[in-house]
Chains A and B, each alone.
Chain A
Amino acid sequence: MRPSLVLLAAVGVLFAAGTTLLLERTLTRVLLGVMLLGNGANLLVLAAAAPGSPPIVGTADPAGMTDPLPQAMILTAIVITLGMTAFLLALAYRSWRLSGHDEVQDDAEDRRVRELAERDEGSDAEDLDAAEGVRG
């Protein structure tokens, strides 16, 4: 089987564009990135089957038919991608309702631990413990 170069190039472009968008901080762009990546993966699965005539019994010689299994898998994958996209969209909307924007924020606790490390201190808990040790 010789895969179609155009199809594979399209997969490459979709993956590249999707990855770029995925690295953005705005959830809407991440969503677009996920959609492009999902479509890229679906096209890749499609490219797994050799091109041929439609796999309908009686319309063509079975030897010349394309493999229908990847198409069945893509159907499943499309449904899954659709559901996930809808959920991510709802998440972006909820984030916008709550905070007025849909940028993914840093974890506050992460930042706190990092700041402590930069000041070369242990956590507060440690300090309390040490203070107690002095008192005792």
Chain B
Amino acid sequence: MTWLVPLPVIMPLLGAATTLLMFRRPRVQRAISVSVLTATLLVSAVLLVLAADGPLVVAVGGWPVPLGIVLVADQLATLMLVVSAAVTLCVLLYSIGQGGADGDEEHPLSVYHPTYLILTAGVTNAFLSGDLFNLYVGFEILLAASYVLITLGGTETRIRAGTTYVVVSLLSSVIFLAAIGLIYAATGTLNMAQLVDRLDTLPDGVRMVLQGMLLLAFGIKAAIFPLSAWLPDSYPTAPAPVTAVFAGLLTKVGVYAIIRTETLLFPGGRVADLLMVAALSTMIVGILGAVAQSDLKRLLSFTLVSHIGYLLFGVGLASRTGIAAAVFYTVHHIVVQTTLFLVAGLIERRGGSTALDRLGGLARTAPVLAILFFVPALNLAGIPPFSGFLGKLGLIQAGVDDGTALSWLLVAGSAVTSLLTLYALARVWNLAFWRDPSAEPASAPLRSPGLMLTPTALLVAAGTALTLAAGPLYSLTDAVAGDLMERTPYVQAVLP
């Protein structure tokens, strides 16, 4: 069944080509995009089931393994594939609903669908890649698509925000490329399974330089403090579905690359402590930023940065329980953060703005919206019994098991961050939903059709269902973490 492995990359790319040819026929475009992403979701789900028996490996183009590019579908990669495919599909439906409601059937942005599919292909390629250079190409594919999506329409604010985003991302790509050059010079290979042995034989100093450069490149993409300043600056100006998919997926691809390289290529170095410190500062600085904001989208962008700290906490612990909790938290966070940005888009349509001082009384005027916001907000803040609570509990337990002073500090930091997240979101709730409508809305409410509400409700339900599925999901992420810590299943699957 290994022929299934390249499909999640190939299908969106072919879909992008077809939708580009069909740029005059928006209906056909929509049908192709939806069916391609549905097929991607199905294939990813099948791959997840198959990967339970060991990683599936494909040598692209039939080149013998260390020479050519390999795609590796192990449990971590396929789990991320399933979640990302589900989220991209929901966001696509939402954006189709938005396009239908705003009457752009006459003047569609014909470039939206192809770019969106290319973004998906870049994300799946990054997840499946078993080779550092192919990982770089995956990053470039998704970044190039994201440059177009973030500047969609080319208005002045989007160009300004897009410029920051593009320049920072280009810098991180150059650092990544330089790291690849150095790794190749030091080891003579970029195949990750082959690198496992070869990196171990390098002197400690050289290893640390290589590890540091990769962390720097991925850290910018994952928005880890102090490399995170670009994110709250650039995400909020993009259209709601674009911000939602960026917030859900793009930073997590960076986190995925960090998890992969830290466990497979550079296990057990001294850098783990640095990661812990970075995790703590990301959490605290991010959430303090969120508390200071008076605009919903910017506030959510800051909570996004802050919660990347939790993921890094698990990676920094470098224990089986820590990694398992980090992967669980990644799944939870992709779903919940995307949902919140989609709801922010709905609030903007209903209240005419996302500025908190202009909103009010939405709990009475839009009760459905209130529920759609309330549930993921509690989930993000980590109220029991939601999956956010379970993820944080897992991380805190792993931190307590670790028992060092630094991990106790992190445990305290995550509790404080959780409380401050609750404070920031409760403030949104009080101002936008509970108080009397104070001011006139900035503009007349726009209609939000069922095609926008349904995918949002689906994601809210998915985020809640993660609680019910927490048992199986945790045993899955525990198996993932076990394989990652052991390293041999991956290496043996690629180089038998």
Contact = CB atoms under 8 A, between A and B. Distances in A.
Contacts of B430: 129
Contact of A37 (B155, B171, B435): B171
A96 to B, nearest CB: 10
B28 interface: no
A3 B184 CA distance: 13
Nearest to B234: A107
Interface in B359-405: none
A118 interface: no
B428 to A, nearest CB: 9
Interface residues of B, number: 45
B467 to A, nearest CB: 32
Closest 8 CB pairs of A and B: A123-B294, A48-B185, A45-B181, A125-B357, A125-B356, A124-B357, A41-B177, A44-B181
A70 B181 contact: yes
Given A83-B144, A87-B147, A113 B294 contact: yes
B357 A128 contact: yes
A132 B295 contact: no
A59 interface: no
A48 B181 contact: yes
B356 A91 contact: no
B381 to A, nearest CB: 19
Given A83-B144, A87-B147, A98-B159, A73 B180 contact: yes
Contacts, number: 118
Interface residues on A, range: 35 or more
Interface of A: 1, 3, 22, 27, 30, 34, 37-38, 40-42, 44-45, 47-48, 67, 69-70, 73, 76-77, 80, 83-84, 87-88, 91, 94-95, 98-99, 104-105, 107, 109-110, 113, 117, 123-126, 128-129, 132
Contacts of B298: 109
Contacts of B174: 34, 37-38, 40-41
B110 to A, nearest CB: 17
Interface string B113-144: 00000000000000000000100010010001
A72 to B, nearest CB: 9
Interface stretch (B83-91, B162-170, B318-326): B162-170
